[in-house]
Amino acid sequence: MEWFIFDFFSNTTILGILTLIVIGINFLFAIGLIFLERRSAQSIWAWLFVLFFLPIFGFIIYILFGRTIYNQNIFKINEEDKVGLEHLVEDQLNALRNEDQKFSHEVADKHRKIIRMLLYNNQSFLTMNNSVETFTDGNEKFDRLLSDIRNAKDHIHFQYYILRLDGIGKKLYEALLEKQREGVSVKILYDDMGSRALTLRSFRKLREAGGTVEAFFPSKLPLINPRINNRNHRKIVVIDGAIGYVGGFNVGDEYVGLSKKFGHWRDTHLRVEGNAVKSLQIRFMLDWNSHAKRYNMTREDRYFPELDHRGNTPMQIASSGPDEKWQQIKYGYLKMIYSAQKCIYIQTPYFIPDQSFLEALRIAMLSGIEVHLMIPNKPDHPFVYWGTYSNAGTLVQMGAHVHIYEKGFLHQKIMMIDDEVLSVGTTNIDVRSFLLNFEVNAFIYDEKEASKYRQIFEDDIRDCSLLTVEKYADRSKWIRMKESLANLISPIL
């Protein structure tokens, strides 16, 4: 026996031994995928494909991109900070259970099932006294944000997935630095992968002035981040607890149309006043405390001031992420689709939904509901683009109206039904946003705001070409091949 083992190792190359080790590791990962992780069957098969057809690199790709989050307590609220929040959620749930108790706002009352679902799963309490300002141009959005920053009196909480200290980023940073020096408390939270050109040293002046900065899931080693696949995709700004921003714009010169590659950048962002800002504040606090090592936030009156604001737009702020049991924002989208009676409007840069989402749209179309989808004409991620194009072609064949935005890059994430319910935020229509990233959306129940977006959508159509059944059928074999490959790996894109 000893002779056999010696002879095996003496006649086996080091490369062969390493190959056997890698195959063994791949096998262990495969067992973990099948029996230990909460994944869809499509995702499991896609990762098995990667592991076994790339035996040398598959397990490295899995370590970087494939692991799920098991810790369900990443975002914690201290017991004393829950006071008031739990009572508010329970009071609203009780009101929604009582069918005889009506909301004062007609559209909100009509869609109380959507409200209840988001409230039950996500503690996304409904607020009624909001006013909303909409930005579809980056220059206008950042001009307004700079003005609000310069008028801040107490605190500025600033969170972005991508934060670049280029032209517009430098302006914002200098404004934040000036306010910190004036005594306004400034906190900046950026995603370490989305803003990978930054380090904490990039904010030396702000930190020396007393400001605090944190990176979400920071890299342990240069260029190596074991949480590369779970990114904080949220964009939230809260100023003095009274003004909130949420939407699709990141911070960088491309978002004000200065990119030679993308040209005009079409996006949507909201400026909110009213009690919905409290939800954005809570979301920021949770994200901040998940990574702040020394400067944890606690509930303070200055973060949640009494607001004498008399808007009348009902709104819920919903968030989702891989730490959650439910896919809250995806469920919100699905509930909207199933609630639609007349029309569904969607604008998204990436359209790679799972089977449940596609089937919901098919059922809607078969029921006579008009579906409009708008996607960009140029990719920022090639595989994602061809997966998007393939899914769009499938909908066209069923009778959907698919509009290809030609003016520049389309980045906003919007769904609207029946000129009544509207969702605007950071969540793309893809598996990454539904399962892997940390996202936030505003769900708005108001005919006036929904009609506004209907008009914005129709204005955008002027800058679109229509994808027809004939045009899609006429695509080249090369495009068909790219679509097939994209569809094969779509569960992990």
Please list the alpha-helical segments (H only) found in 102-234. Answer: 106-110, 112-122, 138-150, 167-182, 204-208
Pairing mode, strands 351-352 and 370-376 = unpaired
Cα–Cα dist 387/489, whole Å: 9
The pLDDT, as a whole number, for residue 418 is 97
Question: Are 85 and 91 contacting, i.e. CB atoms less than 8 angstroms apart?
Answer: no
> Angle at the Cα of 230 (from 225 to 231), degrees rounded to 5?
90
Q: Express each pLDDT in 30-78 by its tens digit.
A: 565 544 555 556 666 666 666 666 655 555 556 555 556 655 555 555 5
Alpha carbons within 13 A on the beta-carbon side of 341 = 6
The pLDDT, as a whole number, for residue 5 is 46
* Helix H or strand E segment including 469: helix 469-473
Active site residue ranges: 233, 235, 240, 411, 413, 418
Q: How many other CB atoms are found less than 10 A from the CB of residue 86?
A: 11
Cα–Cα dist 229/270, whole Å: 27
Alpha carbons within 13 A on the beta-carbon side of 425 = 28
The pLDDT, as a whole number, for residue 386 is 79
What residue ranges in 304-462 does DSSP mark as E strands?
Answer: 313-320, 343-347, 351-352, 370-376, 401-405, 408-410, 414-417, 421-425, 429-430, 439-445
300: Cβ contacts below 8 Å, ≥ 6 apart: none
The pLDDT, as a whole number, for residue 103 is 77
The pLDDT, as a whole number, for residue 6 is 46
* Helix H or strand E segment including 22: helix 14-35
pLDDT, block means (10 residues), the chain with 493 residues: 48 65 65 55 62 58 57 53 59 72 84 90 84 97 98 98 96 98 98 92 96 89 65 96 97 94 94 95 92 81 88 95 87 97 97 93 96 89 79 93 96 97 96 91 97 96 96 86 70 54
Measured over the CA atoms of residue 432, residue 474, residue 407 and residue 263, the dihedral's sign is positive
Pairing mode, strands 429-430 and 351-352 = parallel
- Judged on CB neighbours under 10 Å (0-12, 13-18, 19+), 139 is middle
